[in-house]
Structure 1
Amino acid sequence: MKKIALISLGALSMLLGLVFVIIPGPSLIFFIAGLFCLSFYYPKARGYLTLCQKALTKSCAYIDKKLAR
């Protein structure tokens, strides 16, 4: 039951992320939440989650540097 709930929540979050790519909204947050839910059962999703987290960390550091000037 828990596995089905996590997979469906992850799939729903990923779909919402895709919708928010087309419509302006917080798509990256939904992608990361969906990958987090899916990473419990799919190792490939865990790799993509790590990749997204690294990209988000780099972009936040870049923006902080630009705003500090």
Structure 2
Amino acid sequence: MGGGIVVSTEQLKAVGRSCEDFELDQSLYGNSFVMSVTPQERSCEICRHWDVNKKECRIGVFDEVLSSLDQS
């Protein structure tokens, strides 16, 4: 996702809801929060694969999932 592309909050949520690799970053919330996250609340921002500083997916699936959403 290079080139300084700005990712919107809505895109982060849409990809988080649809991504098969989504894993809640428990270091952000602790174990008690894990059970209370509904699929509608999922977002890349709370996924353990999301690099907050670089604003990109560490495993490189963001663009692929986003592209699949655009085609549906």
TM above 0.5, yes or no, is no
Give the shorter-chain TM-score range: 0.3 to 0.5
Decide which structure has the larger Cα Rg and report it.
1
Higher strand share: 2
Higher helix share: 1
